[in-house]
Amino acid sequence: MNHPATILRTGRKFDQVLEGARDVFMADGFEGASVDDIARAAGVSKATLYSYFPDKRLLFMEVARNECARQACDAVDMVETCCTPPEAIAVAARQILSVILSDFGQKMFRICVAEADRFPDLGRQFYESGPMVVRARVKEYLEQATARGELRIEDFDLAADQLAELCKADLFPRLVFNIDTEFTEVERERVIKGAVETFLARYGA
């Protein structure tokens, strides 16, 4: 798995490969994940695995892209059911924080940091196919709400980034530095409430 290649997203075993790879990457990291272990976890032969993903980095990025795209769609679906900016921003903030604190989100973050020296493009590719997907969905909502006169935003990219950063307050550094590994619903809602109020104080119509 050394050369970039086009991903073949067809065939009945494609989802099996992704699920198996997800489990192995989360358990062993990027470098520690072997082709044999991934094929075994997916219940496919190495030949089948190679037919979908000739490059391990492509497989890693597809796992990240698939998971983050699902989370982004979930966030948009929930936001679109809301009526007011406070409700919608709270839903978006809750989803962003959920992803940040999730086992998947934390392990992907740690993998990218750990492999930054050996594979400098890995973090960038993960960011583009993961967090940037969620960011684009949030930005889309902010643009629509501003067009309706519900928000007052000029720089939508900055506003979307600021919302995400507000959601990291307190809990994210405690998790990254292994001060705490679990947080109560009260702790989560405290951060979400603060993020929404701060964001709307700046951008509310």
Mean pLDDT for 6-26 is 83
DSSP code, position 7? -
Q: Tell whether 161 is covered by a domain.
A: yes
CATH of the domain at 127: 1.10.357.10
Quote the DSSP letter at residue 167: T
Query: Mean pLDDT over all residues of the chain?
Result: 86
pLDDT: which is higher, 29 or 154: 154
Q: What is the pLDDT of residues 157-186, one digit of tens each?
A: 999 999 999 999 999 999 989 899 899 999
Check pLDDT > 80 for residue 38: yes
- Identify the pLDDT of residue 17: 93
Cβ burial 15-39 (10 Å sphere, 16+ → b, else e): ebbbebbbbbbbeeebeebebebbb
Question: Using an 8 Å Cβ cutoff, are 131 and 100 in contact?
Answer: no
Q: How far is CA 54 from the centre of its chain?
A: 24
Confirm whether 37 is domain-assigned: no
Q: Which domain holds residue 73?
A: 63-203
C-beta separation of 144 from 161 below 8 A? no
> How many structural domains compose the chain?
1
Quote the strand ranges of the chain, DSSP E.
none
115 contacts 49 by C-beta, under 8 angstroms: no
As a whole number of angstroms, the distance between CA 168 and CA 92 comes to 13
pLDDT in tens, 116-126: 887 777 778 77
